[in-house]
Amino acid sequence: MAISREDVLHVAKLARLDLTEAEVTRMVKDLGSILEHVAELSQVDTSSVTPTAYVAVTAAPFRPDAVEPGVPRDVALAEAARHADGGFAVPAFVDDG
């Protein structure tokens, strides 16, 4: 399955990414390569492999639930596209337009 320039631009628009022409060209190449590998994997005969219903986890790794310093609010908000009242401002809905 090939990926077109239009496909990359459509996904970039949905993700609200402003890609340069060089980035679009690179994404077409890179994503096309990934899809070629996936297509190759789909050709592997797995008919003799028993499906896995679940993976047993005998012990879950836990870490201490400790408060750790984070990014200062002013630094985090400086990188935000929009902010209001000391927090991130996000649209109430997302559209394709």
pLDDT digits (tens, 9 = 90+) for 60-97: 788 888 998 999 999 999 988 899 999 999 877 766 55
- State both tokens at 26: 């690179």
The Cβ of residue 34 has, within 10 Å, a number of other Cβ atoms equal to 11
For the chain, the C-alpha Rg in angstroms (whole number) is: 22
Answer yes or no: are the C-beta atoms of 2 and 33 closer than 8 Å. no
pLDDT in tens, 7-57: 999 999 999 999 999 999 999 999 999 999 999 999 999 999 988 888 787
Q: What's the whole-model pTM score? A: 0.49
The answer to whether residue 1 scores a pLDDT higher than 90 is: no
